[in-house]
Structure 1
């Protein structure tokens, strides 16, 4: 009887350890060269098997962050992603269309255009638990 109780205890302990708390989705921080914080909107993830996604149309009613022309923007996370997985995309059609342009990042940073206007960016990175997509709505003035 003692062996059965010990076996059940060990099995229960193993299950508790292997079914730990899910890892939280990493939070993105986006700043300008003068340390002004911008608002990243989490619009999608495939995290620990849970898939959630929104289109950039969800940004239509969101306020744009205003930045000067040619501002340097830096993306970081509270938990670093896997190396070389951060990608940035500019969506020229703003809320519709499928055309996009990949933007080269240098040290997780990029420069906004010199031309005034509203720009929609998405950025995605990967961790051991999955990937997360954030969106930025930037007004260059």
Structure 2
């Protein structure tokens, strides 16, 4: 009886750990985007992800990257401020684009999980694509530099 109780406790701990670690997730992690103490809202985009038992691709349709960012409020940041992007599971690679309006886009450097916003005032939309061994995910957030 005592042996069964020990085995039951061990199995219970393993099950709890599996749900905490979430190895069965079929979606990439969502980043936490911050500037100082300000948490910047993020919109999740399309992704492909392979879990241990299944995989899937989800195509989220938006008319543009800027429209995708419009789902959340732009966060106010100071000119030249660092915006930090962190994931619970860090990606192997992350690329970022900066959009101003619907037509002007340029690649921006991601250094030490951070992006430096411009000195010039305005609304800037950032499109991130993160790559892991299991797949990739895209995300958008916007900032209002003032």
Normalising by the smaller structure, the TM-score range is: 0.7 to 0.9
1:91-106 map, 5 Å: 91-93=99-101, 96-97=102-103, 99-106=104-111
Q: What count of residue pairs does the alignment treat as equivalent?
A: 116
Q: Which of 85, 91, 95 in structure 2 is aligned with 1:87?
A: 95
Pair 22,77 (structure 1): closer, same or farther in 2 beyond 3 Å:
closer
Say yes or no: does 1:108 pair with 2:94.
Answer: no
**Please, which runs of 5 or more residues in structure 2 have no aligned partner?**
1-22, 50-54
Structure 1 segments (4+ residues) deviating >3 Å: 20-24
Report Cα offsets for 1:34-56 as digits up to 9, x if no partner: 23211111122122332323332
**Corresponding residue for residue 71 of structure 1:** 81
Structure 1 residues 61 and 50, CA, compared in 2 at 3 Å: closer, same or farther?
Answer: closer
* Contact 1:27–1:79 (Cα < 8 Å) also in 2: no
What's the offset of the Cα at 1:30? 0.9
Q: Does the 8 Å contact 1:90/1:103 carry over to 2? A: yes
Matched with 1:40 is: 42
The separation in 1 between residues aligned to 2:79 and 2:72, in whole angstroms, is 21
Matching residue of 2:57: 50
CA RMSD of aligned residues (A): 1.9
Q: Provide, for residues 97-141 of structure 1, a one-character-per-residue CA deviation record: whole Å limited to 9, x for no partner.
A: 3x4211012111121111111101111111122101110111111
CA deviation map 1:9-47 (0-9, x unaligned): xxxxxxxxxxx8444421201111x23211111122122
Structure 1 residue runs of 5 or longer lacking an equivalent are 1-19
TM-score (norm 2): 0.70
Is the deviation greater in 102-111 or in 51-60? 51-60
Larger radius of gyration: 1
